[in-house]
A and B are shown apart, each in its own frame.
Chain A
Amino acid sequence: MTKTLAFHSYKGGTGKTSLVVNLGAVYAKQGASVCILDYDFRAPSLNVLFKAKPKLWLNDYLDGKCGINDVIVDESAKYNIRGKLWVGFANPSLEALKDVMSKDRRWEVKALSKTLAGKKEIIAEKNVDYLIFDTSPGAQYSSINALAGADLVSLVMKADEFDLEGTKELSRGVYEALGRKSGVILNKIPLEQIAASGGREKFGKEIEANVGLPLVGLIPCMCELMAAGGKSIYTLDKPDHAFSRSIDEIAETMKKM
C-alpha cells in the first residue's frame, strides 16, 4: 500500500526540501521504491540537488503536454541504495516561474484533477511505496493541491513564535478542512535542547498545546549542514551523523502513522 506524504510550511526556509530528499533517500536505502515530486513551482530546487536536466517537467504534465510518467526520472543509479528513487522536477526557468504566477483559477481546477489522477498513475506504473510531495510555503494553489492528494501532511517549522502563529492558521484552515492526518516536524533546533533530559517531551507538549498537532520529529540545527548547501544527501553520505539519525527516526515514526 503506497503512502503519500506531503511536506508543507507556513514560511520558506524551514528545510522542507532537504528533509524530503533525505527522508526519501532513507526509505530508498532500506529497499523501498520512492518517488519525490517537486511541487514548489515558485522556487524549484530539486534539479540542483540531483544535478538533473530533464527533458520534461511537472509543469508540462500539469499543462497537459505529456503524461505524468513521462516526467518522472529514475535517479537510483546515482546513489548506493537498495530500492528505487524516482523524481519529478519542477521547471526552474524564468519563463516557467512567470507562467506559474499567471495561471487562473480554471487552470488550478485542472491542476488539482491532474495531481490526483497523476498520483494514481505513478502508483500504478512505478509501484512506489512512498510518494512524497515537496511544496511551496503558505497557501499556494499548487501546495494545497498536493496536500489534497496526500495521506499524511507534515508541517515543517522552526520554533519561533511567528512560525507558530502562521502554522496554527494553516492547521485550522487547511489541514483540518481537508481532513488529512497531519503532524509537525521541528527543524533547526539546537542539539543541546534536543539532547537535554526531557527535551523531546517538552517540545512535543508545546506543539500539541499550541498547534494542536502531534510532534513527528525534531531535527538539530547544524552549521555543517548549511555549509554543505544542499549538495549532499546526508542520510546517504553520512548515515551516522546526528542529522541523519534524526531523519531515520522521523522515517520510522511516519511509517507507523
Chain B
Amino acid sequence: MHVVFVSSKGSDPVVVDLLRKLNRNVEVVTRKLDKLIEVERSGARFSRPTIDMPEGTPLDVTTLLTLPDHLRKSALALSSLGEATATDLSKETSRVRAVESDYLNQLVSMGLIKKKRKGRDVYFYIE
C-alpha cells in the first residue's frame, strides 16, 4: 500500500513530514510481518521442539545427541563460547540474530541453558 501525501495550501509541512515517516515505518513493519508469516508457514525454522527434557538434565554430549539439528548447533556454539549474547552466537552459527535468539530461548525453556541480563544485554550460559 502506497500513500501519497499532498501538501496543499495551508497544511502543516511538519505534520506531512511526520506522516511520511510514519508511513515508511508501517511499510517496514508490514514487510517484516510478511516474512515472519512466510517462515511460520514454511514450518521448520520456528518450530518448537517436541522432546521433553527431565528437570536438571545437563547439556552434555549425550543430551546434545538427542537434540534436533538446529538446537544442537546453538548448544554447541554456546559450549564453545561459554557465555554469549544472541548476537555473538549468531556470528558463530551464521544465522540471523532473531532466529538464534529464538533457538536459545527454546533451550532455556527446556532447562538446558540459562540466561541473565547484564545492562541492556541478555547473556546465555551453561550452568
Q: With both chains docked as a complex, state the minimum distance between the C-beta of B50 and any C-beta of chain A, in angstroms.
A: 16
With A and B bound together, what is the CA distance between A108 and B59 in angstroms? 9
Q: Which residues of A contact B65 (CB under 8 A)?
A: 144, 173-174, 177-178
Asked if A113 contacts B64 (CB within 8 A), the reply is no
Of A117, A120, A144, A179, which contacts B61 at CB under 8 A?
A: A144
With A and B bound together, what is the CA distance between A108 and B57 in angstroms? 12
With A and B bound together, what is the CA distance between A109 and B79 in angstroms? 8
Contacts A173-B65, A174-B65 given: A116-B76 contact, CB under 8 Å? yes
Of B62, B69, B82, which contacts A113 at CB under 8 A?
A: B82
- Give chain B interface residues in 32-73, CB to chain A under 8 Å: 58-62, 64-65, 69, 72-73
With A and B bound together, what is the CA distance between A32 and B72 in angstroms? 32
Beta-carbon contacts of B61-102 to A below 8 Å, as 1s and 0s? 110110001001100100111100000000000000000000
Asked if B64 contacts A105 (CB within 8 A), the reply is no
Q: What is the number of contacts between chain A and chain B, taking CB atoms within 8 Å? A: 49
Contacts A116-B76, A117-B82, A120-B80 given: A109-B60 contact, CB under 8 Å? yes
Cβ-based interface call for A61 (8 A): no
Contacts A177-B65, A178-B65, A179-B69 given: A116-B79 contact, CB under 8 Å? yes
**Most chain A CB within a 10 A radius of its CB, from B59, B72, B79, B126:** B79
With A and B bound together, what is the CA distance between A131 and B58 in angstroms? 28
Q: Which residues of B contact A113 (CB under 8 A)?
A: 79-80, 82, 126
Q: Which residues of B contact A145 (CB under 8 A)?
A: 61
Which residue of chain B lies nearest to A111 when distances are taken between CB atoms in the complex? B60
With A and B bound together, what is the CA distance between A177 and B70 in angstroms? 11
Q: Which residues of A contact B64 (CB under 8 A)?
A: 112, 148, 177-178
With A and B bound together, what is the CA distance between A144 and B76 in angstroms? 12
With A and B bound together, what is the CA distance between A141 and B63 in angstroms? 11
With A and B bound together, what is the CA distance between A50 and B55 in angstroms? 45
Cβ-based interface call for A78 (8 A): no
Which residue of chain A lies nearest to B73 when distances are taken between CB atoms in the complex? A179
Asked if B58 contacts A108 (CB within 8 A), the reply is yes
Q: Which residues of A contact B80 (CB under 8 A)?
A: 113, 116-117, 120
Cβ-based interface call for A241 (8 A): no
Contacts A113-B126, A179-B69 given: A108-B79 contact, CB under 8 Å? no
Beta-carbon contacts of A89-119 to B below 8 Å, as 1s and 0s? 0000000000000000110110011001100
With A and B bound together, what is the CA distance between A179 and B64 in angstroms? 12
Q: Which residues of B contact A179 (CB under 8 A)?
A: 69, 72-73
Q: Which residues of B contact A116 (CB under 8 A)?
A: 76, 79-80
Q: Which residues of A contact B69 (CB under 8 A)?
A: 179
With A and B bound together, what is the CA distance between A108 and B64 in angstroms? 12
Of B59, B73, B76, B81, which contacts A109 at CB under 8 A?
A: B59
Which residue of chain B lies nearest to A177 when distances are taken between CB atoms in the complex? B65
With A and B bound together, what is the CA distance between A39 and B73 in angstroms? 23
Which residue of chain B lies nearest to A116 when distances are taken between CB atoms in the complex? B80
**Most chain A CB within a 10 A radius of its CB, from B59, B60, B73:** B60
Binding site for B on A (CB under 8 A): 105-106, 108-109, 112-113, 116-117, 120, 141, 144-145, 148, 173-174, 177-179
